[in-house]
Amino acid sequence: MPNTQEVLPIDAEPTKGFFVEMLTRDIGLEQAVLDLVDNSIDGAKGLKGDGEKPFEGMKIALEFSKDRFRIVDNCGGFSSEAARTYAFKFGKPAGSPRTPHSIGQFGVGMKRALFKFGHHFSVRSATTDDAWAVSVQVPVWETQIGWSFPWATFTPDAEVSHESPGTEIVVSDLRTEVAAKFSTKLFENAIHGLIKSKHRQFIAGGLEIKVNGHHIDATSLYLLVADDAKFRPGIEELVIKDDSEEEIKVRIIVGVGLSSPPQAGWYVVCNGRVVLEADRRAVTGWGLIEEQSKTVVMPNYHNQFSRFRGIVTFDSNDSVRVPWNTTKTDVDQDNPIWQKTFGRMMELMRPVIDFLNELDADIDEHTRDHSPLLAYVSTVASVKAESLPVSSTFVAPARGSLSKGPKTVKLQYAKPVDEVQFLMTELDVSSAKAVGEKSFELIYQSMGGK
């Protein structure tokens, strides 16, 4: 046996090449691009003003092709000290400053994107009193001892300087598979759509974002609200504390929108960043079954629920506290804040689902053309979710309370096609439904009905 005091310690340090490959494997290219947009938005958050357009004048521009990727913003930049001590570290060091209510979370987004895109990257940034740059040839860096990046010469221009504080990132010598995707219109459209949906709150607040020169417009979620207060969404605000006594503000909105299957479902927003959009999975309660009794708590999604809208927003000074996963593509179901919120989401969701079941039954009884409940819903105005009041209880008219005229019943029967077509000609009508209605009227009148 060798003397243990003379034996050198076991070296378990990862190789850079392995670390880079593992770091980039579990995130899609689209999400890596969004991570860089998130970082720019965090810079904008540090500069935002008050009022309806707090991000007015702030800009982010993305450009990508088969040759390179570039993102540049005028969102304040960050100091050389921040770059040296924590911004380029793999993970956020203990004690590093955090942007309040940030959407950058675990300190891996920028590095993961840079390595995923290509083999050479440069970053330059300027504040009002500081400026710096780095330039890294990844294959060369991987062969060197140590994990530091070399400084480069900062060259100011009209986009990034002391007079125009911001950050520029350029990645070239792209990986083959990345260059192939960056060159397609399909990928450009995907990024455009993702930014439009994931960052809707910031764009609506005045932030200008362009993708390959194309401006992204703001979109909003709408719910139906009646002026007479007979129809309105349910809204509740909570403040939940986690084990560290950190406060997380939660706002839940449930209600009815226009009939649109692509927009129906739950929207989950963390610190302003949309994590889930129109979600209709068990994760957000659809198809929920009570385990012990095996009873259905919430039905699976069906198109009769195409008007359902649920929005839950989480906001915390510390982005680690909100319930999203590391790639910001889903919720962390084990997060205690999510678990505490989920039950209340289901309680608020239930009366909306009950109403939509009643609406479906009313349409089934009276037909879509004669349903009193559908006729009422069709007259209610759409209101932006962000303009809704602080709290309210979901209110909707009961089935039958709006009925005008005699009660109706739907008749259904099947007849040979040639016979129906014969009657369409003889009765001078254009549909099988009209044949049924006209023939009923003639028989009813002939039997003495009025």
Domain boundaries, the chain: 16-215, 222-387, 417-446
At the top level of CATH, which class does the domain 16-215 belong to?
Answer: alpha beta
The pLDDT of residue 21 is 79
Token pair of 305, please? 């629920």
* 141-176 per-residue burial string, b: 16 or more CB within 10 A, e: under 16: beeeeeeebeeeebeeeebbbeebbbbbbbbeebbe
Nearest to 99 by CA among 58, 45, 172: 45
Structure tokens given for 434: 């009209």
Average per-residue pLDDT for the chain: 89
* Largest separation between any pair of C-alpha atoms in the chain: 114
User: Is 333's pLDDT higher than 50?
Assistant: yes
The domains spanning 16-215 and 222-387 adopt the same CATH topology: no
Q: Is 398 left (phi over 0), alpha (psi -120 to 50) or beta?
A: beta
Beta pairing partners, 214? 211
Q: Which residue has the tokens 């707090």?
A: 54
pLDDT-derived band at 404 (thresholds 50, 70, 90) equals: low
At residue 190, does pLDDT exceed 90?
Answer: yes
Q: Name residue 266's beta-bridge partners.
A: 279, 310
The amino acid sitting at 208 is E
Core vs surface per residue 390-419: b (16+ CB within 10 A) or e:
eebebbbbebeebeeeeeeeeeeeeeeeee
**What fold, for 222-387?**
Ribosomal Protein S5; domain 2 (3.30.230)
Residue 106 has pLDDT above 60, yes or no: no
Greatest mean pLDDT among 85-99, 137-151, 267-281, 358-372 lies in 267-281
pLDDT at 306 exceeding the cut of 50: yes
| Overall average pLDDT of the 421-438 stretch | 82
Instruction: With cut-offs at 50, 70 and 90, classify the pLDDT of residue 434.
Output: confident
Of 177 and 412, the one with more pLDDT: 177
For the cut 80, the answer to whether the pLDDT of residue 105 exceeds it is no
